Each structure stands twice: as C-alpha cells, then as structure tokens.
Amino acid sequence: MTTDLYTLPFDRISHDDFNRVGGKCASLGEMTQAGVAVPPGFAVTTEAYAAMLDHHGVRAEIERHLRGIDAEDLDTVERAAHAIQIRIRSHPLPEDVEAAIRVGYAAMGDDIPVAVRSSATAEDLPDASFAGQQDTYLWVRGADEVVNHVRDCWASLFTTRAVAYREKNNIPHIDVLMSVGVQKMVNARAAGVAMTLDPSNGDRTRIVIDSSWGLGETVVSGLVTPDNFVVEKVLQEIMDRTISDKHIELVGDAALGQAVEREVEADRRRIPSLSDDEIMAVAMLAKRLEKQNKCPQDVEWAIDADLPAGENLLALQSRPETIWSQKAKAKPKHPFATGMTSIVGTLTNPLASRK
Amino acid sequence: MDAQKSMFPSAFDVPAPKGGEDWQGLYPYYTNFQPSRRAEDDQKFWFCNSQHWPTPLRPFDVIMLDFAIKCLGQYNTRHLLVPPANGVDYRILNGFVYFSPVGVAPEDIEARVPQFMERAGHYFGNWDDLLANWKTKVLSAIKELDAISFHKLPEVEDLEVITGGKGLDSTTHLFENYDHAINLAYRIWQYHFEFLNLGYAAYLDFFGFMKEQFPTVPDQAIAKMVQGVNSELFRPDDEIKKLAKLAVELGCADALKSGTVDEALAAVAAAPGGDTWLKQWEDAKDPWFNFTSGNGFYSTDKYWIDHLDIPLGYLRDYIERVEAGEEIMRPTAALIAERDRITAEYRDMMDPEAQEVFDGKLGLSRVVFPYVEDHNFYIEHWALGVFWRKMRELSELLASEGMWDDPEGMFYLHRNEVRDVIWDYSQAWAIGTETHGRDVWNTEIARRKGILTALASEPPVQALNNPPEVITEPFTIMLWGITSEAVARWGAADEDSAGLKGMAGSPGVVEGVARVLRSPDQLSELQKGEILVTPVTAPSWAPVFGKIGAAVTDIGGMMSHAAIVCREYGLPAVTGTGNATAKIKTGMRLRVDGNNGTVEILD
C-alpha cells in the first residue's frame, strides 16, 4: 500500500505530520483525533507534490522558467508564472500518486461532492495568501475532477503574485511544499467564523461569531454582512445578537457540480441564521478548540442540513488567532496594587470614575 | 441639559398627595427638608431608597431608619475613617426615604489614609477572631431582648415590694424595659455595620481588579466567584425543604396538607411518625423561623415564627414537589463545582503575575463575604424579629389598657411619643385617674392612618435635584445599585414603551407570563413558571424561587436579594428597573434577558 505515503486520512494525521500535510490538514487531523466533528477526508501529502516535481523533469523545467525572471520586470514574472501553471496543470501525475488520490476519494463514498483546498506548510509567512493558501474548490465531484483540482492547488503556488513575492523576499520557490486537503462537502444550511476573543478589542472573555446562510466562504470573503453573535465565554451566555440583511448565499448545485451564489429569498434574509442552541453549540466548539490548542482560535464551522440536530455542527478549520495574541505579549506590564493599599485605591478612586 | 433646570425636582417643589398634606408632623424635625436650609439641600443629589423603604413609614418605624443610617455613618466617619466617604444623609419626603451620600473634602482624604489602613487593617488581619466575638455579642443582645417582657401594671403592688423595702413600683420596670429594648435595637444596629462596609470594600477591590483585567466581565460572574453556597440566609428555606422530605418519608405528609396551622399540626401529631416530625418542626422554629417576609425595617413585617401559615404554605408546596419526584434540595455540590469552574476559567486567561494578585484578592473576598450574606439573618431576621415581637406585646398591652383600640396603634406613634404614653399610663395608674391618652390617641391614630394611606397612593419621586457627573461612592453603588447609568435611565424613563432596562442581576434568557406582586401576602398567587415582577424581594421569599421562571424588580443592585437568589437557582434576573411594576401587568408575556439587563414586553 502506498496510500499513507501520498495521502493520509484525517483520522491518521497527528501534529507531527505538519510538514507532510500543511497547517490546514494538520489542524483537521488533530480535531478529528480529538473527537471534534469534522467532515471526513484526506490530505494529499507534500511527498505527492514532490513526486510530481520529480516526475519527467517537471522540477528542472520549473527552475528553467524561474531563471528567466527579472524581478524588476513584471512581464517576465507573469510569463514564467503562466508557463509553470500550465505545465503543472497539464502534467499527468505519477501513476502511484494519482492512484492514491483515487483510492482515497473512492473510500469516502460514491462520487460524493468534496472541497479541495490547498494546505500550505509555510503558514507563518507574513502574507500567507502568496502560497495559494486561499485556494479552495467547492463541490468538486468525480475522481477525475478531484485529481484535476489537486493539480490546480499545486499550480496556485505559482500565481504571478506568489512568484513575485518570493522573488522579492528571496524565498526559494521550490522549497515551498504544498499539501492538498480533500474533504467531504458540507451541505451548509448556515456557516461562518467563530473567534475565541473579540477581534475588535482582544477581549478574551468573549466568543464572537459571524454567521450567514449557506457556505461560510461568503462570510470569510466579506460578500455578505453576516449575523453577529457575542457569547460570554465563562458564563456561557449569549450577550449580544445583531441580525443582518444576508442577501446572498453560496450553495452546492448538484446538477452543475459546483457551488453557486444565489439570492436569498426576502423572508429569510433578516431572520437569525442560527438558533440560540446553535449559537451556544458553535461557541462551545470554539471554546473547546481554544482549550485544546492552548491559545485563542479562529474557527470556521458549518451547520450541515443533512445531519440531525445536535450532531449537525461541523468544524472546518481552527487556527491560532495572531493579531491580539501578539499585541498581548508586547503589552507593557504595570505593577498591581495589593492588600490595604489597593483597598484604599479602590475606595478613593472607584471604578466609575476611572477612565 | 439646560443648566438652569434640574434633572429631578427640588424637595421643596414636590407636592404631597391629596389628603397627605400634613405628613411632616408624623416624623421628627431632623428628617424634614427645612425651608431655611433649602439652598444647601437643593445643591445635593438625593435618591429615594425605595429598596429598603418601599412604602411610607409609620412613625414608630423611623427607629430603623434612624439607627441604620446613623450606624452606617459612624463606621465610615468615626471608627474606620474610610478615606473618601463619610455617612449617608437622610430625609423623609411624603413618607418616603431619601439618601444623599456625604463625601470627604478632597483635601482631607489623604490624612485619613494612615488611620484607615491601621483600623481597617486590624479588622482584615483578625477577621475570624473578631467575627467570632461579633457573633457572641449579637447572640447575647438577642437573648437580652428575648428576656424582656411587658406586663399590665398591678392593681396593688406585691407585698414583697413592701416587706423587702424595695421602694420602687412596677412603672419603673416598664420604663426600664422599654428603654432597654430600644437600646438593644440601637446596639444591634451598630453591630450590623461593624463589618459590613469592610466586607463591601474588599469585594469592590476584587471587583475593580476583575474589571481592569476584563472590562466586559459581567458583574454577576464576579459575584458568582465570591458568593458562598452555605449562607445562613438559605437555612430557613433549607429547613422547610428538609421538613417536607421528612414528612413524605415518615408517611405523615397527608396530615399536613389541609386546614389551619393548628388543625394541620394536630393532624400530624395523630399521624404515624408525627412525633418525630413535630420535634424537627419545633427545633427548626428557633432560630430559623425568625425570618421576615419583608426586610425587618417595618413594624408590619410578618415573621414566620409569628405567622406559621407562611412556612406551612411553603411546606405544602415542597411536599407536592417531593411527591412528584422532584429533588428540592439545593444542588450545593454542583454549585461549588460551577463556582470553581468559573474561577479557574477566568484565572486561566490571566498572565502569571495577575493570577497571583487574583488569588490574593479573591481569597480576601471569600473570607469577608460570608459576613455580608449572613449578617442579614442575625440582625434583620432574628434580632429585629424579636424586637418587633416585644414592641407588639407592648402595643397590645397599651391597647388592652384602653390607650387605643387598634392592637397595632403604638406604631402610629414615634418612639419618643411612646415614652410619653408610658408616662401617661404610669401617672394615671399612680394617681388613680384615667389616662389622657384614651381621649387623644384613637382620633390621632385615625388621622395619621388617613395621611399614610394618602401618601401610599402615589409612587415616590425617584430622585431630587441634579446627580453628580459620576456617582463614585462605593457603598451607594454596591448597596443600592445607584450608578450614573441607573440615574440616567430614571431621567429618561417612559420613553421606550416596549421594554425596560435594569441591572443584569443573574444570567439567562427566559420568556414567560408576568405575575406582578406588590406585597408578600400575594405570594400564593404565583403559578409555576411565571415571571415574578415585584418592587423588591426578601430572603424569606426563597421558596417561591423554585417555582418561578425569572425575576424582575423595580429596585436593587447586583447584590440585591433577588439577584443573589436567582444566581443560586440559575434563573435570569433583571433588577433595579425602576418601574417594572408600573409598566408590566399580570398576564403580559415577557422576555427577560438577564445577560443584558433588559425586559421586553412581547404583547
């Protein structure tokens, strides 16, 4: 069996596999292993990518294209990037890699719709999107399509922007390896993002949820103004709800074999996309993931319309929150008043008068 | 706001309700707003303390106002020298009580700090020993009160008075006993405040620290970390629950289910296991039924021990629930586990230096807080319960001696007028004539009752004059929930008709049907699951909290009784709404949001 070399199911991924499966898949693997409900799937490992590069001289060809680049001349970058992308997309995969992907996909069910997403190994770079990390193909169906989209994800390492960025920052192009996640498509009734701190002020006692109809991509990309819910993390109570006009949703179209954007009917636009029980379930999921990962998290989740209530909340991704966590570390410490001195301070300078 | 115009009216411009115009004569001169001091009094902000005095005071009941507020002040001003705060000034207007906190001049604050550190530091450093001593003092005062009795003056003095060469008559004891009872109440009120302000100070210190760490942390979360689960305030309710379970276990519950108190107790005595049950009932009565359905400040308060129908009513409810298979005892283990979880989770979000400070401040708060909760049982319930019983004895004695017809007549007199009445009774007895009072008091009491009825017909003005820019006096915030936001709400009252805003007293959101109750006598009207809407609740209402879906009060802060008990029972509470009982009618559907402190009227 070659399957564990080139593909690795989520339930066999541990944190040690980070370099083989990238950040996104490693997180999905960890969640799966910890018993969090995650749509099933597998990672196409970086070994598969490396095998593709080493197949029929692809690596040498890419390097040749890259040598022709003048970083100051965007045309040369664009020409090289295009050529490399076409080369990767049209290249037949090594037989054992392609077989592994097909076996992995077949194991998930009979031609079920899946999401194919890139999972980069270089997440800590400042502008993560250069690596094509945002590349996501939704509602992909059939083994041929899956294989094609895995190639698309790999090719996204060589967008003009990504190539230019690496040139400018002296990052070796070929050392950035990419894994691809193939995950069962969620039939999202509602989806969105949950942060285990308040992104507006870094308040760690709050869990802030953005939610809208359909797949969460509309929320992540800012295509809709989502509903916003605030939950007190410790008391586990909903503190605030803002219901927005959610005018579009992204849903799977089985006939087209892709996710399509459509208008939300008038009577559904302004009603809450989550019930109170669902809000609490999302919040508790985020809280659990924060505890598991020992730092504030940014969680993508979805409510699956095909699953029964109580089992229909799925985690799609969990990653550390970075902005406020870094600020908190940089914050200067001020000494605390204690004992009687503090009590005198409390009395002479009551909270209500402090600014 | 127009600088010329005050947010609230001047005391001198508030008219008395029709028929109540002569109210000022009911109260001592020092409680009146004096026209000669108008300029000074109009400069101050006064808020109506309807939390502790929700209805117009009968003249005798000024005793509790006098003693409580004077004793609160003495600890701030003369014992501990709380740096920024002296006492709270008080007045009566149209029978209602108004407070104005008295600050210390900014230039004098610094000089009080070392003294406060030494004096308050001594209490904090020796808390347990001093508190044990406090309990001894209070119990001995209660014992002395209990020993007092008032007797009809004899037709003829006993022969021993002659043979023993005593040379003093029975009126001497009458005066001594009356004065002693008043003095014991005075002493008890001093004890009441000996620790209380320090308890609040330590709590506020922890509170402030938490708000600095997490600016949005709910007040109720901080309270939950500090609050005890074994407060003696819960004991009376727990005793009733235990009695209900015992009755069901022994198989004598049916005997208790109907009839008057006497009938039920007679029936249970004849039932199998009845002896065992009755013994536990008797044991529970003293001290735990010294429990008022009010707050102890009124002569009208009904104490369980004097009105056994009240605990019996609760007992019957509990028996029903036990028989339905419900677990009625408070889940103390779960409450402690929940408190530990909340504490640990906030602590985990702090950095290590903050965690150490957190441990220290929370530790002190937990040491002092049981007093903040328990003192209420010892003073307001137990000691004052005995005091009022003795005063009722005296009033009934004087009624039986023809001073007035109403057995409660004495409470329409000021405590110093009562001394005159005792003199009247004594001199008439000694001289061998009729008292003068029999020709005076019935008419006067009827007149005073008329005035009080008129005063009670209109709700009080919530505040007087202009509030300060920020309200900072810690005890005012803590005890009465008077914050800058609350005052702003009063000023803007009645603008939004669909909802009310108050304090988020206890978390959770519930929808249900309102039951508006203005007096504890109506408690039996409550149906299971209803939302209790009331001016203010008292600890002895605890048994109804097992039945209701949520609580909404006009008055009260995060440490008000309703908030504490709702947190205990896991029910949402919104306190200090100002006018919930006026805006909400029984039967309305409400949505009570105890997380945000809002009440929405749904239809």
CATH code: domain of residue B529: 3.50.30.10
Residue corresponding to tokens 């800058």:
B484
Q: Check if B72 contacts A (Cβ < 8 Å).
A: no
Which of B:153-192 have CB within 8 Å of A?
Answer: none
Cβ contacts of A340 on chain B, cutoff 8 Å: 117, 120-121, 124
Q: Do B361 and A338 touch (CB under 8 A)?
A: yes
* Domain end point (choices B294, B329, B364): B329
**How many residues are given for chain B?**
603
Three-state SS string over B65-94 comes to HHHHHHHHHHHHHHHCCCCCEEEEEEEEEC
> What are A39-63's pLDDT values in tens digits?
999 999 999 999 999 988 899 999 9
When the pLDDT of each residue in chain A is averaged and rounded to a whole number, the result is 87
Is residue B214 a part of any domain in this protein? no
**Residues of chain B numbered 383-422 and touching chain A (CB < 8 Å):** none
Indicate whether A179 and A280 sit together in one domain.
no
Are A14 and A134 in a shared domain? yes
d(CA A277, CA B95): 49
Do B468 and B514 fall into the same domain? no
Distance from CA of A198 to the nearest CA of B (A): 11
In chain A, the number of structural domains is 2
Contact by Cβ (8 Å): A174, A63: yes
CA distance B260 to A99: 87
**CB distance from B207 to chain A under 8 Å?**
yes
* B84 shares contact with chain A (CB less than 8 Å): yes
Substitution target in A348, A353, A354 with the highest count of B β-carbons within 10 Å is A348
Residue B508 included in any domain? yes
Do residues A176 and A264 lie in contact, with contact meaning Cβ atoms separated by under 8 Å?
no
For residue B31, pLDDT over 50 is answered with yes
Query: What would the mean pLDDT of B275-289 be, rounded to a whole number?
Result: 95
Mean predicted confidence (pLDDT) in B509-538? 86
Domain that holds residue A310: 188-330
A299-316 burial, b if ≥16 CB within 10 A, otherwise e? bbbbbbeeeeeeebbbbb
Question: Contact A206/B360, CB-based, under 8 Å?
Answer: no
Q: What is the ipTM of this complex?
A: 0.82
Same domain as A272, residue A226: yes
The pLDDT score that the predictor gives to residue B496 is 53
Alpha-carbon dihedral angle through residues A122, A126, A129, A133, given to the nearest 10 degrees:
30
Please give the interface size between A and B, counted as residue pairs whose CB atoms are below 8 Å apart: 100
* Residue B452: Cβ within 10 Å count: 21
pLDDT of residue A124: 43
* % pLDDT > 70, chain B: 95
- Closest residue in chain A to residue B120, using alpha carbons only: A340
Q: Does A333 touch chain B (CB under 8 A)?
A: yes
- Mean pLDDT across A184-202: 93
Distance CA B507, CA B83 (A): 34
Per the structure, the complete domain to which residue B94 belongs is given by 11-117+461-474
Q: Tell whether B588 and B501 lie within a shared domain.
A: yes
The pLDDT assigned to B2 comes to 42
Check whether residue A39 and residue A116 sit in a common domain.
yes
Q: Confirm or reject contact between B355 and chain A (CB < 8 A).
A: no
d(CA B73, CA B85): 9
Shared-domain flag, residues B277 and B181: no
Residue B447 one-letter amino acid: R
Contact between B209 and A340 using a beta-carbon 8 Å cutoff: no
pLDDT of residue B146 exceeding 90, the answer is yes
CA separation for the pair B275, B251 (Å, rounded): 12
Residue A232: inside a domain: yes
B chain contacts of residue A343, beta-carbon cutoff 8 Å: 120, 201-202, 205
In this prediction, residue A31 carries a pLDDT of: 92
Q: Are residues A52 and A121 in the same domain?
A: yes
Sheet containing A7-9: order of strands: A7-9, A41-44, A178-184, A114-120, A136-140
A237 in contact with chain B, both atoms CB, cutoff 8 A: yes
Please list, in sequence order, all residues whose beta carbon lies within 8 angstroms of the beta carbon of residue A12, skipping any fewer than 6 positions away.
A4, A29
| Residue type, position A316, single letter | L
Strand partners of residue A120: A178
What letter does residue A187 receive in the DSSP assignment? Answer: -
CA separation, residue B207 to residues A339, A342, A351, B210, B215 (Å)? 14, 12, 9, 5, 11
What are the C-alpha distances in Å from B307 to residues A135, B150, B263, B303, B458?
76, 21, 14, 6, 29
Write down which residue in A184, A215, A245 finishes a domain: A184
**Residue A325 in this model has a pLDDT that exceeds 60:** yes
Residue A232 contacts B, CB cutoff 8 Å? yes
| Number of folded domains that form chain B | 4
Predicted confidence (pLDDT) per residue in B195-228, tens digit: 998 998 899 899 989 988 998 898 889 989 998 8
Q: What percent of chain A has pLDDT over 90?
A: 57
> A336 to chain B: nearest residue by CA?
B357
**B396 and B466 housed in the same domain:** no
**In a shared domain, residues B110 and B147:** no
Tell me the three state secondary structure of residue B587: coil
Beta bridge partners of residue B23, listed in sequence order: none
Does residue B334 lie in a domain region?
no
Question: Within a 10 A sphere around the Cβ of B593, how many other Cβ atoms?
Answer: 23
Pairing of strands A248-253, A258-263: antiparallel
B298 falls within a domain? yes
B484: nearest CA in chain A?
A352
Give yes or no: residues B23 and B107 share one domain: yes
* pLDDT tens digits along B410-451: 999 999 999 999 999 999 999 999 999 999 999 999 999 999
Nearest residue on chain B to A342, alpha-carbon basis: B205
pLDDT digits (tens, 9 = 90+) for A122-154: 654 444 444 444 578 889 999 999 999 999 999
Q: Please check whether residue A46 lies inside any domain of the structure.
A: yes
A355 part of a folded domain: no
B255 and B325, same domain (yes or no): yes
My answer on whether A179 and A264 are in the same domain is no
Say whether A353 and B472 touch across the interface (CB within 8 A): yes
Residue B4 pLDDT greater than 60, yes or no: no
Q: Amino acid identity, residue B506?
A: S
pLDDT digits (tens, 9 = 90+) for B346-366: 999 998 999 999 999 999 999
Check whether residue B515 and residue B584 sit in a common domain: yes
Beta bridge partners of B533: B516, B552
Is the minimum CB–CB distance between A255 and chain B shorter than 8 Å?
no
Tokens representing B150?
Answer: 């008032």
Q: Is the peptide bond before B287 cis (omega within 30 degrees of 0)?
A: yes
Q: Are residues A65 and A165 in the same domain?
A: yes
A254: domain CATH number?
3.30.470.20
| CB spacing of B113 vs A234 below 8 angstroms | no
Q: Are residues B28 and B109 in the same domain?
A: yes
pLDDT on residue A170: 79
Q: Do B92 and B135 share a domain, yes or no?
A: no
Taking CA–CA distances from A341, the nearest residue in chain B reads B117
Question: What are the tens digits of pLDDT across the range B81-130?
Answer: 999 889 999 999 999 999 998 988 889 999 999 999 999 999 999 999 99
User: Is residue A205 within 8 Å of A234, Cβ to Cβ?
Assistant: yes
Residue B292 per-residue DSSP state: B
Residue finishing a domain among B271, B305, B329: B329
pLDDT tens for each residue of B242-264: 999 999 999 999 999 999 999 99
Q: What is the mean pLDDT of residues B159-182?
A: 96
d(CA B564, CA A93) in angstroms, rounded, equals 68
User: Does residue B362 lie within any of the structural domains?
Assistant: no
Instruction: Give the integer Cα–Cα distance in Å for A110 and A349.
Output: 69
Residue A277 at interface with chain B, using a CB cutoff of 8 Å: no
Q: Are residues A217 and A325 in the same domain?
A: yes
Residue A52: closest CA among A167, A183, A179: A179
B184 inside domain? yes
Give the gap in angstroms from C-alpha A347 to the nearest C-alpha of chain B. Answer: 7
With respect to residue A227, please indicate whether it lies within any of the assigned structural domains: yes
* pLDDT > 90? residue B380: yes
Which residues from B are below 8 Å from A196, CB to CB?
none
Inform me whether the C-beta atom of residue B357 falls under 8 Å from chain A C-beta atoms.
yes
d(CA B138, CA B496): 48
Q: Are A206 and A233 in contact (CB under 8 A)?
A: yes
Verify that A171 and A195 share a domain, yes or no.
no
Nearest C-alpha neighbor of B404 from the set B451, B437, B426: B437
Q: Give me the residue from A198, A340, A350 closest to B117, CB to CB.
A: A340
Give A280-320 as a DSSP string. HHHHHHHHHHHHHHTS-EEEEEEEETTS-TTS-EEEEEEEE
In a domain, B361, yes or no: no
Q: Is residue A336 part of a domain?
A: no
Q: What is the pLDDT of residue A355?
A: 40
- How many Cα atoms sit within 13 Å of A10 on the Cβ side? 31
- Please list every residue in chain A whose beta carbon sits closer than 8 Å to the beta carbon of residue B342: 234-235
> For the domain that residue A137 is a member of, what is the CATH number?
3.30.1490.20
**A260-279 average pLDDT score:** 95
Determine the Cα–Cα distance for residues A101 and A215; give it in Å rounded to an integer. 25
Hey, what are B144's tokens?
Answer: 């002395």
- Identify the pLDDT of residue B3: 45
Q: Among residues of chain A, what percentage have pLDDT more than 70?
A: 92
Give me the residue from B124, B201, B360 closest to A338, CB to CB. B360
What's the residue count for chain A? 355
**Which has more pLDDT, B3 or A61?**
A61
A92 lies in a domain? yes
Residues B376 and B319 in one domain: no
- Residues from chain B that touch A336, judged by Cβ atoms under 8 A, are 209, 353-354, 357
**Does one domain contain both A176 and A197?**
no
A203 has a chain B CB within 8 A of its CB = yes
Centre a 10 Å sphere on the Cβ of residue A202 and count the other Cβ atoms it contains. Answer: 16
Where is mean pLDDT largest: A123-137, B138-152, B561-575?
A: B138-152
- Letter for the amino acid at B234? F
Same domain, A121 and A109: yes
Does B113 lie in the same domain as B62? yes
Minimum CA–CA partner of A329 in chain B: B351
Contacts of A234 in chain B (CB under 8 A): 221, 342, 345-346
Residue B560 lies in a domain: yes
Q: Is B504 helix (H, G, I), strand (E, B) or coil?
A: strand
**Taking CA atoms, what residue in B is nearest to A346?**
B205
Q: Same domain for A46 and A26? A: yes
Confirm whether A305 is domain-assigned. yes
pLDDT at A214: 96
Tell if the CB–CB gap between B345 and A233 is shorter than 8 Å: yes
The two beta strands, B531-534 and B550-553, are parallel
Last residue of a domain, one of B474, B507, B542: B474
